[in-house]
């Protein structure tokens, strides 16, 4: 992505909230025996607040990804999610996180199909010649099913952690209605959807085939997605982990409908869609693998074709229990996990320095730090969790930060030196290990 000349914006250096300072002080005590890991944690845990976060005058919060001056719905949630458990008694964190949720609701009202947005209606775009229904607020308009799911995830976790309901205004309820209507349309993409996307840059994974409509799909009850969480086009447009995430989001929206808005009609609509999507996953999203047994496919088209792989991005197959769809001891998930961490997964790489999951978004042989962090967060044993922390500690190229992908033979060769989502996911893993007494 660095071949693009990106517009620059200056992000203020926010003072760290008291609850975040307390975590850093705790780390100085518990990680004193591991000075390199301590340095990484002290760098990564506050990185989102120190480098990517801006409080706006309207009470909302704008969060860039790092080296790209736009707010991705997905990335911005994962950049702050590790602060949510700290927010119950910290008004500064409540202002930051609550403000981000409110900003997301504004963005989704502008365009529920877009994945990334500008701070203002400045007409900045990743690619100004994209053939789709762009607008001045939209940085990029790749429809990724997971995007809105992350917004719901953040609102739900924030509500449960703080008990605060000020985010649940009329705009928030309108956002739920907008998401639900759009997802219903995309259950029958070919017949009903107005969405098209083509980017004429010569990169096949940046465009949808079929004149921007995508490859044909059969009705399954699942929700169509144009692109993956890596921002690459789907091969088959029912992305299974994204649909699992949608099921979780629909369950969370049902709680909003029942306990916040007291809207039983909305509750019933959400429940029906949840049942449709979950049934589609069970019926069409499981592949009988000759070596691993039944596993969740990464994608399917509903015609019996499957994409068998895993990608380092979230949602992916590794992250299924992290998203809350099933628990980590679910038998099909365990089969799927063994597949994802094997050479049967075309994006699993083993080298002299590391082994783990990469992505078609980066070159062959590149492992993603996010994949190692997610493997640790979903690990079934303390030994595997600690092994992932050791591997993350040793592959930062002595920068003190996490990256996107690094070469499995040489971690000094890497992409994206400033990638806040990766720093935050690493911070989640290390902090969780600290609280469990493993570090």
Contacts of 293 (CB under 8 A, 6+ apart): 335
Cβ neighbours around 114 below 10 Å, total? 24
C-beta separation of 357 from 413 below 8 A: no
**What was the pLDDT predicted at 4?**
43
CATH topology of domain 45-346: Glycosyltransferase (1.50.10)
**What was the pLDDT predicted at 254?**
98
Q: What distances in angstroms separate CA 311 from CA 233, 276, 378, one per listed residue?
A: 13, 25, 15
pLDDT at 1 over 60: no
Task: State the pairing for strand pair 138-140/348-350.
Answer: unpaired
**What was the pLDDT predicted at 3?**
35
Q: Which of 192, 224, 208 is nearest to 131 (CA)?
A: 208
pLDDT tens per residue, range 397-433 = 999 999 999 999 999 999 999 999 999 999 999 999 9
Entry pTM: 0.97
What angle (nearest 5°) sits at the alpha carbon of residue 156, between those of residues 59 and 90? 50
- Mean pLDDT over all residues of the chain? 96
Instruction: Give me the residue spans of the domains in the chain.
Output: 45-346
pLDDT tens per residue, range 358-384 = 999 999 999 999 999 999 999 999 999
DSSP 256: I
DSSP string spanning 400-417? SS--SEEETTEEEEES-S
Query: Dmax over Cα atoms in the chain, in whole Å?
Result: 60
Question: Any idea how long the chain is?
Answer: 439
pLDDT at 2 over 70: no
Cβ neighbours around 287 below 10 Å, total? 20
Structure tokens at 251: 């369950």
pLDDT tens per residue, range 166-195 = 999 999 999 999 999 999 999 999 999 999
């Amino acid at each position: 992505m660095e071949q693009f000349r990106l517009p620059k914006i200056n992000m203020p250096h926010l003072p760290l909230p008291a609850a975040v300072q307390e975590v850093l002080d705790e780390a100085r005590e518990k990680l004193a025996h591991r000075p390199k890991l301590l340095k990484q944690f002290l760098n990564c845990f506050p990185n989102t607040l120190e480098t990517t976060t801006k409080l706006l005058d309207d009470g909302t919060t704008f969060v860039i990804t790092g080296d790209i001056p736009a707010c991705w719905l997905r990335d911005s949630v994962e950049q702050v999610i590790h602060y949510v458990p700290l927010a119950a008694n910290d008004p500064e964190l409540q202002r930051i996180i609550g403000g981000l949720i409110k900003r997301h609701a504004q963005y989704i009202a502008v365009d529920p199909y877009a994945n990334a947005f500008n701070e203002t209606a400045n007409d900045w775009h990743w690619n100004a010649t994209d053939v789709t229904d762009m607008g001045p607020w939209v940085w990029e308009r790749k429809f990724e099913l997971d995007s809105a799911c992350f917004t719901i995830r953040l609102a739900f976790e924030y509500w449960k952690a703080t008990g605060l309901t000020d985010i649940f205004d009329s705009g928030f309820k309108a956002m739920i209605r907008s998401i639900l209507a759009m997802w219903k349309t995309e259950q029958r993409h070919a017949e009903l959807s107005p969405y098209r996307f083509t980017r004429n840059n010569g990169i096949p994974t940046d465009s949808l085939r079929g004149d921007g409509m995508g490859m044909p799909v059969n009705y399954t009850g699942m929700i169509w997605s144009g692109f993956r969480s890596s921002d690459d086009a789907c091969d088959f447009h029912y992305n299974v982990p994204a649909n699992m995430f949608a099921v979780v989001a629909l369950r969370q929206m049902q709680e909003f409908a029942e306990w916040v808005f007291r809207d039983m009609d909305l509750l019933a609509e959400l429940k029906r869609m949840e049942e449709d999507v979950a049934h589609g996953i069970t019926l069409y999203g499981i592949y009988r693998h000759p070596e691993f047994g039944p596993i969740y496919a990464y994608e399917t088209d509903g015609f019996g074709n499957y994409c068998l792989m895993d990608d380092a991005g979230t949602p992916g197959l590794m992250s299924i229990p992290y998203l809350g769809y099933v628990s980590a001891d679910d038998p099909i998930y365990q089969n799927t996990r063994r597949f994802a961490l094997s050479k049967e997964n075309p994006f699993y790489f083993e080298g002299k320095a590391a082994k783990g999951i990469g992505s078609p978004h980066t070159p062959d042989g590149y492992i993603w730090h996010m994949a190692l962090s997610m493997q640790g967060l979903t690990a079934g044993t303390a030994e595997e969790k600690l092994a992932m922390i050791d591997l993350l500690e040793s592959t930062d190229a002595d920068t003190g930060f996490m990256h996107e992908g690094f070469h499995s033979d040489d971690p000094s060769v890497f992409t994206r030196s400033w990638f806040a989502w990766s720093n935050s996911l690493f911070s989640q893993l290390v902090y969780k290990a600290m609280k469990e007494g493993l570090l």
